[in-house]
Amino acid sequence: MFKKFSQIGKAMMLPIAILPAAGLLLGLGGALTNESALIAYPFLNQAWLQTILSIMSAAGNAVFANLALIFTIGVAVGLAKGDKGTAGLAAGVAYLVYTATISGFLQLFAEEGASIDTGVIGSIVVGSTVAFLHNRYRKIELPQFLGFFGGSRFIPIVSSFAAIVLGAIFFAIWPPVQNVLGIAGENIAKMESFGTFLYGFLLRLTGAVGLHHTIYPLFWYTSLGGSEEVAGKMIEGAQNIFFAQLADSSHQGLFTYGTRFFAGRFATMIFGLPAACLAMYHSIPVVNRKKNAGLYFSGALTSALTGITEPIEYMFLFSAPWLYVIHAFLDGVSFWVADILSIRIGNSFSGGFIDYTLFGILQGNSHTNWLRVIPVGIIWALLYYVVFRFCISKFKVSIPGMDINEDNPVENTTSDNRSTLHDESLRIIDALGHEENIESVEACATRLRVAVKDAGHVNQAAIKNLGATAVFEVQGGIQAVFGAKADLLSQEINQILGDE
């Protein structure tokens, strides 16, 4: 199980690599186009500037809004043992079918307005299922009358049917999970400072799988986050109250106590996680640091500037889930410390330096106690660095750049069909003039298309004896008609030649 999670973690490195850039676009654009930011800072309200920022926000949001789909494709491509393009396409189709299945069940059987968001868990399940089906059946031979649908073409089809089953299962099991989190939120609201710790801990813990969206809206937008009278109006929800106070020029003293559901973020996101990045960077072999420096630096900058933490967290989440639990605990403690120190900084998007500046520093220390974040943050940076450096070095956590060698799983070749296909492919390679004469091998529906260096070295009679119904020479190569088996032969030959 640990090895499987480690493989999934490595498979997700490709989609994770795009998150820092998307996070910067979304963080900058989202924070600086927020209505409350425009009210507080009129100089931002320039048409040309808002146009640029809005486009930045939309571009970044396009990635995060489709994160589950991107991760599904990334998992399938990363776990596929060959023909990875087919695996990626099948994963994309399967995820769309999966979400459509859940949506269909909701329309038929759930109350109006009900929703199910399975987040990263859904991505991992769908992507892993597609990878399993792909590795097992991508070279399947079907009866002749169904031959066109054999090989790699079979994968999107079988994956779609599997996605329907997965959608039905998640429709049944996911609502109780969401309900449990809702009940937990109601109890947390009654626990004051200890509840603040639990809120931060649970929010970070569920954030790993995308379930945090079930928790924080209860506190940001409902009475669980407090009720206060602002400018003669009764306001409910921590963020609603904060923004109302921000817009009230007559407000005196500290901002709402509901900021306890925001203020704990800043020490972790601006100081703690960037220090964890430095610890990870220092933990990898020196020879690998230069080529991995960009990944760690961009992740640290994204967290510190915008408060988007996924690029960092996914670096270690799947290789060391227990380390993520430690991180969630530290984040919960950060919320508790901010609460008892009466740090009253709100936020629009997240807990990065942008929101810290807009809603902390520029509001004045008398409203926010923003100065207290700095000593706490320095302590948090040291704490995160020491914890991560020790844990990664002590337990050999497989983070990017660590280069832990693992035995790669090998496809099962004991099947008679696989053995026969392999032998046929070897003989076809010999008939084509051996490996050195072959430039590329492709297949259409029925034909094996081979680009060769010298057509005179091709033994057409031998290829016909291996099952081709026709062989003819074209400019730069030959085409051999093998029927529906052509796609399977193409994959096997490419694998033998090392082109996959």
End-to-end Cα spacing for the chain = 27
- Give domain status of residue 390, yes or no: yes
**Token couple for 86:** 């087919």
- Give domain status of residue 407, yes or no: no
- Quote the CA–CA distance of 485 and 490 in Å, as a whole number: 9
pLDDT of residue 114: 80
Q: Examine the pLDDT at 196 and tell me if it is beyond 60.
A: yes
- Give domain status of residue 302, yes or no: yes
pLDDT of residue 330: 97
pLDDT of residue 484: 66
pLDDT of residue 5: 58
Same domain flag for 430 and 391: no
Q: Examine the pLDDT at 418 and tell me if it is beyond 60.
A: no
pLDDT of residue 415: 46
Same domain flag for 39 and 142: yes
- Quote the CA–CA distance of 218 and 206 in Å, as a whole number: 15
pLDDT of residue 23: 64
**What is the pLDDT confidence band of residue 409, given thresholds at 50, 70 and 90?**
very low
More confident residue, 45 or 113: 45
Q: Examine the pLDDT at 20 and tell me if it is beyond 70.
A: no
Tell me, yes or no, if 444 is annotated catalytic.
yes
Q: Examine the pLDDT at 390 and tell me if it is beyond 80.
A: yes
List C-alpha distances in Å: 141 to 147, 336, 350, 372, 493: 7, 60, 52, 67, 16
pLDDT of residue 32: 79
CATH number (domain holding residue 462) = 3.30.1360.60
**What is the pLDDT confidence band of residue 408, given thresholds at 50, 70 and 90?**
very low
Same domain flag for 70 and 127: yes
Q: Which of 65, 191, 386, 444 is catalytic?
A: 444
Weakest-pLDDT range from 27-36, 123-132, 201-210, 321-330: 27-36
**What range defines the domain where residue 465 resides?**
416-497
CB 153 within 8 A of CB 487: yes
Among residues 179, 153, 192, 350, the alpha carbon closest in space to that of 269 is found at 350
pLDDT of residue 51: 92
> What mean pLDDT comes out for the span 360-368?
88
Same domain flag for 478 and 444: yes
- Give domain status of residue 328, yes or no: yes
Q: Examine the pLDDT at 222 and tell me if it is beyond 60.
A: yes
Q: Examine the pLDDT at 34 and tell me if it is beyond 90.
A: no
CB 27 within 8 A of CB 352: yes
pLDDT of residue 133: 95
Mean pLDDT of the chain: 85
Q: Which residue has the tokens 């399975």?
A: 118
Percent of the chain whose predicted confidence (pLDDT) is above 70: 90
- Give domain status of residue 236, yes or no: yes
Segment 250-260, tens digit of pLDDT? 788 899 999 99
Same domain flag for 120 and 152: yes
Segment 48-86, tens digit of pLDDT? 999 998 898 888 888 877 878 998 999 999 888 888 899
More confident residue, 29 or 4: 29
- Give domain status of residue 296, yes or no: yes
DSSP calls for 217-277: HHHHSSGGG-EEEETTEEEESHHHHHHHHHH-TT--SS--GGGGGTTTHHIIIIIIHHHHH
pLDDT of residue 15: 78
**Token couple for 145:** 């009358």
Same domain flag for 370 and 449: no
- Quote the CA–CA distance of 16 and 9 in Å, as a whole number: 10
Q: Examine the pLDDT at 182 and tell me if it is beyond 80.
A: no
Segment 142-178, tens digit of pLDDT? 887 777 788 888 999 999 999 999 999 999 998 888 7
Weakest-pLDDT range from 11-20, 185-194, 294-303: 11-20
Q: Examine the pLDDT at 405 and tell me if it is beyond 70.
A: no
Percent of the chain whose predicted confidence (pLDDT) is above 90: 36
Weakest-pLDDT range from 76-85, 413-422, 435-444: 413-422
Q: Examine the pLDDT at 106 and tell me if it is beyond 70.
A: yes
pLDDT of residue 1: 52
Last residue of a domain, one of 327, 361, 395: 395
- Give domain status of residue 200, yes or no: no
Same domain flag for 282 and 178: no
Same domain flag for 336 and 440: no
Last residue of a domain, one of 187, 210, 229: 187
Q: Examine the pLDDT at 407 and tell me if it is beyond 50.
A: no
Same domain flag for 386 and 435: no
Same domain flag for 345 and 425: no
Same domain flag for 252 and 378: yes
Same domain flag for 248 and 346: yes
**What is the pLDDT confidence band of residue 131, given thresholds at 50, 70 and 90?**
very high
pLDDT of residue 419: 63
> What mean pLDDT comes out for the span 300-325?
88
pTM for this predicted structure = 0.62
Last residue of a domain, one of 346, 363, 395: 395
**Token couple for 74:** 């990334």
CB 411 within 8 A of CB 137: no
What is the SS3 assignment for 296?
helix
Consecutive H or E run containing 139: none
What is the SS3 assignment for 109?
helix
Q: Examine the pLDDT at 214 and tell me if it is beyond 90.
A: no
- Give domain status of residue 192, yes or no: no
Counting the structural domains of the chain, the total is 3
